[in-house]
């Protein structure tokens, strides 16, 4: 522990000169996730470098990044983006390509980095299914149970997004994990996924922000919901909520640090990302939220009691379906249009 603290101090000292001159505006997703970043990254970075972190919040809208860049009035220095936004924003030239020399951590040490020309992976999180243990007897154990209104009556929470819902629908309909994207790559497979969603559409409460699913469960508005695992684990560990996670069919994914093109503080932004990508620094976030660090060298710094709660735990990964980024990159816009039309029907 002493060596971990010392290495963190030395790392901060090394970049202090590069970063102290500019305040940084960092935009993220709010709620428990931003709180974890504040404790693991923002406060320690400010304390050591003098760089003031100004926090902003959004819901992942690429339109906000696009509007800033196209108008030439970029106010965000660093933004936490999901994988779909990272791919699309990179293709449109809205965020800067990765400069691994400035990042300072070897690319091969960062899980998922090969999939992204822009954006530095920071956490491995997962879309999972969670339920209130006081509301459902017997307990649900599978993705199929999310769609079984007869055996498990009550409202369901689903993200207002085709991503995840289409995959869960096919898993629930009996498609093996290793055949899900192969099935979705056919018109018949997409039709099959929407048909399965039709079976629970009338019982769905749609959520858009990560803080909503645990609140929906807590308020009794739903008995089962899809959610980001860290938000549910925080509700269990910190708030004592009687929730439980179903890991079967979990959809692991990444969040990434990205720098919008035209950021007024590019050098300071790279300095922050470089520090936040170090193994011992990155491992600290798992103390505050149950997301796995992207740096492969971070595992030894993670508390052993925390590891089973992470999507990256070996047992949890055995039942995981990893996102096919190429599939969503090629089909995302069309599927979102169809999904929105379906919602309106």
Domains 2-124+254-316 and 126-252+322-344 share a fold: yes
Per-residue pLDDT band for 199 (boundaries 50, 70, 90) equals very high
Per CATH, is 126-252+322-344 categorized as 3.40.190.10? yes
The confidence score (pLDDT) of residue 284 equals 93
Question: In the structure encoding, which two tokens stand for residue 80, read together?
Answer: 């936490």
107-118 pLDDT per residue, tens = 999 988 888 999
Taking alpha carbons only, the member of 84, 127, 119 closest to residue 277 is 119
Average pLDDT over residues 87-102: 95
Peptide bond into 138 cis (omega under 30): yes
Residue indicated by tokens 């919602």 = 343
For 331, the 3-state DSSP assignment is: helix
CB-neighbour burial class of residue 295 (10 A; exposed 0-12, middle 13-18, buried 19+): buried
Q: Count CB-CB contacts under 10 A for residue 28.
A: 24
CATH superfamily ID and name for 2-124+254-316: Periplasmic binding protein-like II (3.40.190.10)
Are the C-beta atoms of 292 and 317 separated by less than 8 Å?
A: no
- Judge whether residue 164 has pLDDT over 90: yes
Per-residue pLDDT band for 16 (boundaries 50, 70, 90) equals very low
Residue indicated by tokens 């809208």 = 61
Taking alpha carbons only, the member of 47, 48, 53 closest to residue 22 is 53
Q: At what angle do helices 187-198 and 325-344 cross, to 10 degrees?
A: 50
Are the C-beta atoms of 255 and 241 separated by less than 8 Å?
A: no
Give the span between the Cα atoms of 277 and 256, in whole angstroms: 10
The confidence score (pLDDT) of residue 84 equals 84
Taking alpha carbons only, the member of 29, 91, 34 closest to residue 66 is 91
The confidence score (pLDDT) of residue 312 equals 81
126-139 pLDDT per residue, tens = 999 999 999 998 99
Question: In the structure encoding, which two tokens stand for residue 207, read together?
Answer: 């959520």
Give the span between the Cα atoms of 304 and 319, in whole angstroms: 21
Domain ranges for the chain, please list them.
2-124+254-316, 126-252+322-344
What is the longest distance spanned by two Cα atoms in the chain?
A: 62
Are the C-beta atoms of 160 and 60 separated by less than 8 Å?
A: no
Average pLDDT of the chain is: 91
């Amino acid at each position: 522990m002493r060596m971990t603290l010392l290495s963190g101090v030395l790392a901060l000292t090394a970049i202090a000169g590069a970063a102290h001159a500019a305040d940084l505006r960092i935009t993220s997703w709010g709620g428990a996730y931003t709180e974890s970043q504040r404790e693991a990254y923002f406060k320690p970075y400010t304390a050591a470098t003098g760089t003031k972190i100004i926090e902003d919040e959004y819901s992942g809208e690429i339109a906000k990044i696009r509007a800033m860049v196209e108008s030439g009035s970029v106010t965000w220095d660093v933004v936490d983006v999901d994988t779909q936004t990272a791919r699309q924003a990179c293709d449109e030239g809205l965020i800067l390509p990765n400069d691994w020399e400035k990042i300072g951590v070897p690319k091969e040490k960062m899980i998922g980095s090969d999939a992204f020309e822009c954006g530095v992976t920071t956490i491995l999180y997962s879309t999972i299914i969670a339920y209130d243990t006081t509301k459902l007897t017997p307990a649900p154990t599978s993705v199929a149970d999310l769609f079984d209104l007869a055996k498990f009556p009550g409202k369901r929470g689903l993200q207002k997004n085709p991503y995840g819902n289409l995959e869960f629908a096919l898993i629930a309909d009996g498609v093996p994990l290793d055949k899900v994207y192969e099935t979705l790559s056919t018109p018949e497979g997409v039709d099959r996924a929407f048909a399965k969603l039709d079976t629970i559409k009338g019982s769905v409460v749609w959520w858009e922000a990560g803080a909503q699913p645990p609140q929906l469960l807590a308020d009794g508005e739903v008995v089962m919901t899809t959610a980001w695992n860290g938000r549910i684990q925080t509700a269990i560990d910190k708030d004592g909520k009687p929730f439980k996670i179903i890991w079967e069919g979990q959809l692991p994914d990444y969040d990434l640090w990205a720098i919008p093109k035209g950021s007024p503080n590019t050098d300071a932004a790279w300095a922050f990302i470089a520090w936040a990508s170090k193994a011992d620094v990155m491992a600290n976030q798992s103390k505050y939220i149950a997301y796995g660090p992207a740096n492969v060298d971070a595992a030894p710094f993670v508390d052993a009691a925390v590891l089973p709660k992470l999507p990256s735990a070996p047992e949890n990964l055995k039942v995981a379906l990893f996102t096919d980024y190429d599939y969503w990159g090629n089909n995302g816009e069309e599927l979102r249009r169809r999904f929105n039309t379906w919602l309106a029907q």
